[in-house]
Amino acid sequence: MKKHYFIWFTLVFCLVSPAQADNDLSSLQLNVSDLTQLYQSNNGFVWLKNQQLTVQAHDAFEFIANAPLHGFKLSDYHYDLLNHLDPEQSKTQARQFDLLLSDGLLKLTKHVAVGKYSPAELEPDWHIPQAKFDALTFIQQALSEGKLKQQLNSLIPSVMGYQVLGSALARYQTYVDSGGWPIIADAPLLKSGDKHVIIPNVRARLNISQTGLLATPPSPKLFDDKLVLAVKQFQQQHGLKIDGVIGSETRQAMNVSAQQRVEQIKLNLERARWLPKDLGQRYVMVNIPNFNLTAVENGQQKLSMKVIVGKKHRPTPIITSQISHLVLHPYWNVPKRLAKLDLLPKQQQDPNYFYLKNIRVYQYQRGQRNEIDAYRIDWHELNTQRFPYSLRQDPGEDNALGQMKFFMKNPWDIYLHDTPNKALFDDSKRNYSSGCIRLEDPAALAAFSVRNMMTDTALAAAIASGKNQWHKLKTPINLYTTYFTVWTDNNRLTFSPDSYNRDKL
């Protein structure tokens, strides 16, 4: 109780003026409980000695000063007040400085470590658990070990090129401060050699955000070769079809304002903070917006491939699980919803559809599942409300899961699998599935998964056998499906289309 009173008295009665005390205190939102515990054994000061800043105080202040690199406001961590106070002037200011530095650091360490917000506040479909973090214990331990700076830096995430994103945020903020970039007006499809009034604005737009200034040619409205190259670079950076043609999608991406890009980077920094610090020795990560999968072992990327993910109205959820089994030549137990919405209309249109696709029909009768002859059913009498059957597709060339699937337990029945329709991987946007994740190169992921339990020769023979087989992995592999619309690829900033409209908060 005495310590609570001391903190309250120091902040209410010892600020620069009574008016400032009223205004500042109401917005400080101090963590009085943690502050009380922190100061129980520090005789009123944690960061000062003889009213002089210690080395740890400088480290703590520097960490707070870098809050904007994480997308945070300095004012949330008392930065301006700390700059205003001079501990050497009086013990009153020294106590204020010490308390505010403690409170600011308590807040910032937690925000950097696990995020400022709960995923449920911003992304209801984010189902990766948010880690717990005790800022008070962290700071006390770091101070007692004399490794504050090292420990503070250890909180900074390493996933998705987090620190590069922070630097990009600062750069894009300078674009905002300079007035942003010009809007590209609607126009017909423009290709190399075309002339149009929007070309000067396109050139000016790209000159702002891309390296290598584009000089204005003698004919400013000409879509010249250098501009074609710059447009291709822009398209690659923004997850668009790389054809050097200015169409509606490319114009739309160019017209996302600098301020919108700043907010987008901030949101993706927060998403990175929601991920576990330790993703595992071996893990697979799917980034839904850029339709890509990576497999990592001991911090080194071993695989990268294209994937197909869920449609906007049947999205792939953001989850974590473990790949526990490799299933070769799998049966496809058709989810009830897909059976009613997708396959029933095809069977109604063509009574041979199930036969040709090796799809069997089952019905539970007296507690037993019995196979029913599809030709004896009047499919036109059925609908989405009345569908008493279950469907299963046999292994084979037409099987929707292809030659293999990677099983992982989860409430959504989501898994990774092969597909017989390889042509879809040529598309730049690949939102085609009903939630599961189709793989461009499933054999490569299979080799990665069973490397410590099967030789390449044994795996190839198992695949060639054509038999349904379940192979339990000796060590399950962590799997993360994520949603990053901004990330780095070899330290290159990359944007992806927001296919699920998750960035529009």
Identify whether residues 77 and 90 lie together within a single domain. Answer: yes
**Could you give the number of structural domains in the chain?**
4
> Are 324 and 401 found together in one domain?
yes
Burial class (CB in 10 A: 0-12, 13-18, 19+), 86: exposed
Give the C-alpha distances (Å, rounded to integers) separating 205 from 184, 241, 260, 309, 343.
8, 19, 15, 32, 47
pLDDT at position 4 is 53
Question: Which of 369, 394, 419 delimits the end of a domain?
Answer: 394
| Residue 32: burial class (beta carbons within 10 Å; 0-12, 13-18, 19+) | middle
Last residue of a domain, one of 256, 289, 317: 256
Q: What is the pLDDT of residues 397-429, one digit of tens each?
A: 999 999 999 999 999 999 999 999 999 999 999
Is 261 among the domain residues?
no
Residue 194 maps to which CATH number?
1.10.101.10
Both 380 and 486 in one domain: the answer is no
Q: What pLDDT sits at residue 7? A: 53
Q: Is residue 446 part of a domain?
A: yes
Q: What does the pLDDT look like over 64-101, one tens digit per residue?
A: 999 999 999 999 999 999 999 999 999 999 999 999 99
The whole-number pLDDT of residue 6 equals 52
Q: Is the pLDDT of residue 303 over 60?
A: yes
- The H or E element spanning position 308 is strand 300-310
Using alpha carbons, select from 445, 458, 447 the residue that is nearest to residue 415: 445
Per-residue confidence band for 124, with pLDDT thresholds at 50, 70 and 90? confident
Selection from 256, 415, 420 nearest residue 321 by Cα: 415
pLDDT score for 373: 97
Known catalytic residue: 4?
no
Give the pLDDT of residue 503.
Answer: 93
Residue with tokens 């897909």: 338
| The pLDDT of residue 151 is above 60 | yes
387, 305: one domain: no
* 169 within domain boundaries: no
Segment 226-264, tens digit of pLDDT? 999 999 999 999 999 999 999 999 999 999 999 999 999
Task: Count CB-CB contacts under 10 A for residue 5.
Answer: 10
Give burial (CB, 10 Å; 0-12/13-18/19+) of 6: middle
Catalytic residue among 70, 325, 417, 471: 417
Residue 342 DSSP one-character state = I
Q: Which amino acid is at 50?
A: N
358: left (phi over 0), alpha (psi -120 to 50) or beta: left
Residues 472 and 351 in one domain: no
Q: What are phi and psi of 258, to 5 degrees?
A: -60, -40
CA-derived radius of gyration, the chain: 29
3-state DSSP percent of the chain in helix, strand and coil, to 5: 45, 20, 40
Query: Do 304 and 213 fall into the same domain?
Result: no
- List the domain range (segments joined by +) for residue 375: 336-394
pTM flag (> 0.85):
yes
Instruction: State pLDDT tens for residues 430-468.
Output: 999 999 999 999 999 999 999 989 999 999 999 999 999
Across residues 190-218, what is the average pLDDT?
Answer: 90
Q: Are 321 and 342 contained in the same domain?
A: no
Kind plus residue range of the DSSP H or E element containing 458: helix 456-464
* 174 within a domain of the structure (yes/no): no
Last residue of a domain, one of 156, 172, 199: 156
Residues 389, 410 within the same domain: no
User: Would you state the pLDDT for residue 10?
Assistant: 54
**Residue 9 DSSP code:** H
Whether residue 321 lies inside any domain: the answer is: yes
Residue 186 within any structural domain of the chain: yes
Asked about 58 being catalytic, the answer comes back as: no
Q: Based on the fold, state whether residues 50 and 140 are members of the same structural domain.
A: yes
Q: Look at residue 303 and tell me if it is in a domain.
A: yes
Task: Provide the pLDDT for residue 26.
Answer: 52
Which of the following is catalytic: 70, 78, 436, 471?
436
Share of the chain above pLDDT 90, in %: 87
16 & 137 share domain: yes
Is 103 domain-assigned? yes
Same domain, 310 and 441: yes
Judged against a pLDDT cut of 60, whether residue 118 lies above it is answered with: yes
Please give the structure tokens belonging to residue 389.
């059957």
* pLDDT band at 9; cut points 50, 70, 90: very low
In a shared domain, residues 303 and 222 = no
- Tell me the C-alpha to C-alpha distance, in Å, between residue 426 and each of 226, 246, 307, 308, 471: 26, 20, 11, 11, 31
What is the pLDDT, as a whole number, of residue 28? Answer: 76
